[in-house]
Structure 1
């Protein structure tokens, strides 16, 4: 039996496919969840959602900066996505973002997806530190990062505007050594 670096106990990280448009489009209906991930934007049409899904599926593969779908291992139900960004090869750092659709939250999908993505970035791509920015009002994500063993490294005060108020952004970091001690 073969094993995949992209499969955990509950989730499988996979490429985004054109047929994923419907699930991603539905996730955008929860304005609070969208705000917690980045920023609220006007609704998009079905045509635009389909077009965006095709464009994502056809993007050139980048080994360090990518977006993957998070699907359940058991039945391949799309539950969210994880992406890497802000790649700094000189210093060996990267950031990531994660979004799990509201109906699929609090089931362990996000934590497992983060652990899988970090394992790849640390042990296959030779990065030495992962960073994540979390909005100060996103209690679930703050708790998730603490639970995963991330260190709270700083706070940018009043740097994010959402729902009529300014909010702090909290910076979390984890080094490859911290990851290996906990997950290797």
Structure 2
């Protein structure tokens, strides 16, 4: 039996309360945190435990999902992926992804994105995915281009972190573009 949530390197799953420690440790890598959104003051282990426990208890919708990216072998949490900005009328959605720094450059992000897009396109009938990437995040820019996303626009100087302003680059991929590149075998 093959799960729709399992790829070559990762499996997507719900968060479990014991995942708190992995995600808490990822916050130690300030540059990666800035690339994902913005740097926050450190949080306590107690707060991280509460965050994971609360997420584990939440009921997820079919479209608005937040999933742990775990290694296929070993089930070790390496990051998280979520959908947002869902528009059922137009069939569009956006997603965000974060991979913990110790797990960068291992193919986990690309594998997770393909799994999520396959679900959203072929199970939930969306027709276009979007992602915003900060212009200083060269690895993420390269990943989205490699996956076949098209650069559709740029919001200039719209993100401030580490003493500099970055542009936000909008990427998009239609179901047809996805199917051409990543059709399930």
* TM-score above 0.5, yes or no: yes
2-structure distance, mates of 1:81, 1:60: 17
> Does 2:70 correspond to 1:71?
yes
Consecutive unaligned residues in structure 1, runs of 5 or more: none
* Number of corresponding residues: 183
Name segments (4+ residues, structure 1) moved above 3 Å: none
Deviations 1:144-182 (CA, angstroms, capped at 9, x unpaired) = 000000000000000111111111000000000000011
> Does 2:22 correspond to 1:28?
no
* Shift in Å, 1:60: 1.5
2-structure distance, mates of 1:83, 1:28: 18
Q: Which residue of 2 aligns with 1:138?
A: 137
TM-score normalised to structure 1 length: 0.98
SS in structure 1 at match of 2:38: coil
2-structure distance, mates of 1:134, 1:9: 24
Q: Which residue of 1 aligns with 2:59?
A: 60
Report 1:145-160 matches (<5 A).
Answer: 145-160=144-159
Consecutive unaligned residues in structure 2, runs of 5 or more: none
Could you tell which deviates more after superposition, 55-64 or 114-123?
55-64
Report 1:45-124 matches (<5 A).
Answer: 45-124=44-123
The alignment yields a C-alpha RMSD, in angstroms, of 0.5
2-structure distance, mates of 1:92, 1:57: 28
SS in structure 2 at match of 1:53: helix
TM-score normalised to structure 2 length: 0.98
* Shift in Å, 1:32: 0.3
* Shift in Å, 1:66: 1.1
Q: Which residue of 1 aligns with 2:175?
A: 176
2-structure distance, mates of 1:4, 1:63: 16
* Shift in Å, 1:80: 0.5
1-structure distance, mates of 2:129, 2:75: 27
